[in-house]
Amino acid sequence: MQDQTDRLTRALRAAGVRITRQRAVLLDVLAETEDHPDAVELHRRAEPRVPGLSLSTVYRTLSALEEQGVIQRHQFEGAPARFERAESAHHDHMIDVETGEVVEFRSDRIEELQARIATELGYEIVHHRMELYVRKRRG
Query: Which one of the spans 24-32, 46-54, 62-70, 116-124 is the region binding a second copy (CB under 8 A)?
Result: 116-124
The reply on whether position 118 binds a second copy by CB under 8 A is: yes
Between residue 41 and residue 70, which ones bind a second copy under the rule CB under 8 A? none
The reply on whether position 114 binds a second copy by CB under 8 A is: yes
Tell the burial category of 23 from Cβ atoms under 10 Å away from its Cβ (0-12, 13-18, 19+): buried
User: Which residues are CB-contacts of 13 (< 8 A; sequence separation ≥ 6)?
Assistant: 19
Binding-site residues: 90, 92, 111, 128
- The partner in contact with residue 84, picked from Zn ion, Mn ion, a second copy, none with C-beta cut-offs of 5 to 8 angstroms by kind, is Mn ion
| Angle made by CA atoms 126, 129, 121, in degrees to the nearest 5 | 50
The reply on whether position 92 binds Zn ion by CB under 5 A is: yes
